[in-house]
Amino acid sequence: MSATQRTEVHAGVGQNRLIRYLDISGLALTLITVVAAVIWAFPLYWLVITTFKPEFEVVRPYIELWPEHFTFEAYLHIIANTKIVTWYINSIITSVAITVGVVAMGAGCGYAISQLRFPGRTLLWWLILASFMVPVQALIVNHFVIMSGVKLVNTLLGIILPQLIVPVVVIVYKQFFDSVPRDFREAAVIDGANEFQLLFRIYLPMNWGVTTALAIITFIGAWNAFLWPFLVTTTEAVMPVSVGITQVQDAFGIYYARLLAGAVMTGLPVAVVYLIFQRRVTQAIMLTAGVKG
């Protein structure tokens, strides 16, 4: 066997070893991923399956992976004996209003800072960046004092107004408006377009994907919001579903199946929204993560 042939044989053996190593590594990573997914998904599965059990099965001292007596009693109780329809309507109103307000103000503010030149522009931009670093929870007391002072406690407007403060939306819009070539703006200005026409006919249409992604993730965040709506509402008539579901209780004790059924009904709409708009939600998460990074 010549030296060239021996070299080719050794190269082939090394390549086969590498392929086997990669196959083993891929199999190991796949198994780890599957185990991690099962560990993550099991509590969710347990939550859902518990809602279909009668209460005497829920409180048994041993684990049952499937109901012995399958029932919808918990869901029927939530629908028939709570104000869940009212809570859903409140959540829809507040979430849609917050989404529209946040996106509209974010687009307008981002455009102004990106494209207009006015006194205090740099200071305003730094204030927005600074406010992005302040956790919303640190402002809860101030928000409550202000809402109480203007008599908006226990109102839908009181739920909506403080949640319109989302600096990350302004930052994302500003970054994307900065990337739009100036030639488009100059051509439109020559044709007589004003600033509103520039925003709504040129800049926003170029960024509809960003707008859609931000709107979806804002809606999901507004729907899932709990702390502020919980503090500002004390009457069931104005509670969103995330807060109203805490009122699912009984005078004779805690019924876990009913509580968990309420949790499922609270999260179901946003789960459906996520499944339908999964790509847009992922895009929005990447956009906001890029800003934070």
List per-residue pLDDT tens for the chain, 293 residues long: 554 544 544 445 555 665 665 577 777 788 898 899 889 888 888 888 988 988 888 888 777 888 888 888 888 888 888 888 899 999 999 999 999 999 999 999 999 998 888 888 889 889 888 887 888 888 888 899 999 999 999 999 999 999 998 888 998 899 888 888 888 888 888 888 888 888 888 888 887 878 888 888 899 889 989 999 999 998 888 999 989 888 776 544 677 888 888 888 888 888 887 788 777 667 666 665 555 44
Backbone angles phi, psi at 270, to 5 degrees: -70, -30
**CB-CB contact of 79 with 263 (8 Å):** no
Burial class (CB in 10 A: 0-12, 13-18, 19+), 32: exposed
Question: Distances in Å between the alpha carbon of 164 and those of 124, 152, 188?
Answer: 17, 15, 31
Question: Distances in Å between the alpha carbon of 101 and those of 106, 121, 144, 160, 166?
Answer: 8, 22, 20, 9, 10
Q: Which residue has the tokens 């990669």?
A: 22
Return d(Cα 71, Cα 255) in angstroms, integer: 14
Question: Distances in Å between the alpha carbon of 145 and those of 140, 149, 215, 268, 291?
Answer: 9, 6, 29, 33, 31
Return d(Cα 38, Cα 64) in angstroms, integer: 17
